[in-house]
Amino acid sequence: MSEILPINQIELFGLNKFFNELVKLYKKNKLPNKILLSGPKGLGKSTLSYHFINYVLSLEEEFEYDYNNLKINPKNRSFKTIQNRSNPNFILVDVNDEKKFIDINQIRSLILNLNKSSFNKKPRFILIDNIELLNINSVNALLKIIEEPSNNVHFILVNNNKKILPTLSSRCINFKIHLSNEESLTVVNKLLNDNLQNIINYDLINYYLTPGYIYNLAIFGKNNNFDLKNINLSQFIKSIIGNKYFKKDDFIKSSIYDFIEFYFTKINSSFSTNINSQYNYFLKRISNTKKFNLDEDSLFMEFEDKILNG
């Protein structure tokens, strides 16, 4: 089991109907040139994008996309050139590792690339991942080129259910990507080689968690020699706080607040007055901690003292 990046994922699970819809539009020559894929992070929106792009670009290539099984043939030329960033018909824009936002220089670079000839008649795809991380200057620059994109150029924007400017979203056809809880569990079980029940205690799995989220939880357990099978939610959160994993692991840093909220829903589904009061209090504490970049340690220690040990 290893980290799965969308650009490397040759199989597409659970998103058949969305893939088929895009293919159907393309075959009818009705594919929008500005597509917005919206849904919670970890559903597979980026993987869906890479698969559809490979389907189109590998047509008439040797080892073209396996449409019947929704699989990319790793031998096909488009897959290899997209991986090594040399495909003239594909441009990826995403936030750089050392940055918090997609900055305007990345959009300027995109504009320069679009002004170059592709040297073939295939469609050109611009995949902008984590579109919500565009800053205001980047959005304004992007609007200028997506307003009237060049012929045979398609923009695919991936949004993780975050707020984006209406001036951007209104210019796109929005595909809302979703999976039921059962579908999510089926997908992640396939990613884990039908071994989910032997890796993660179902007490840790919330109904709204996405396949990517659950898979990353399994990766966290493996990388930290963490026995996720024989631990409940309360013990898990205590260990996360006590060992300060939120300072060491990016996945835990981004998800610990979800685990805290999940804990409240599990301890009292009817939400008594007392629990409801504590829940609202910590929701506000979490919101302020994120908004004002406050000390996380004090929040987590207070949660452990008042709730887990209370």
SS3 string of 148-169? Answer: CCCCCEEEEEEECCCCCCHHHH
Find, among 146, 137, 194, the residue nearest to 172 by Cα.
146
Say how far apart CA 309 and CA 107 lie, in whole Å: 50
pTM for the model stands at 0.92
**pLDDT at res. 150:** 80
Q: Which residue has the higher pLDDT, 186 or 274?
A: 186
Q: pLDDT for 118-170, tens place per residue?
A: 678 899 999 999 999 998 999 999 998 998 778 899 999 999 999 898 999 99
pLDDT at 47 over 90: yes
Q: Which residue has the higher pLDDT, 135 or 267?
A: 135
- DSSP codes, 228-249: -TT--HHHHHHHHHHTTGGGT-
Q: Which domains does the chain have, with CATH numbers?
A: 6-176 (3.40.50.300), 181-308 (no CATH)
Mean pLDDT of 24-43: 96
**pLDDT at res. 1:** 66
Mean pLDDT of 259-268: 85
pLDDT at 69 over 80: yes
Q: pLDDT for 19-33, tens place per residue?
A: 999 999 999 999 999
- DSSP codes, 176-200: E----HHHHHHHHHHHTTS-GGGTS
What residues have CB less than 8 Å from 56, skipping those under 6 apart?
26, 122, 123, 125
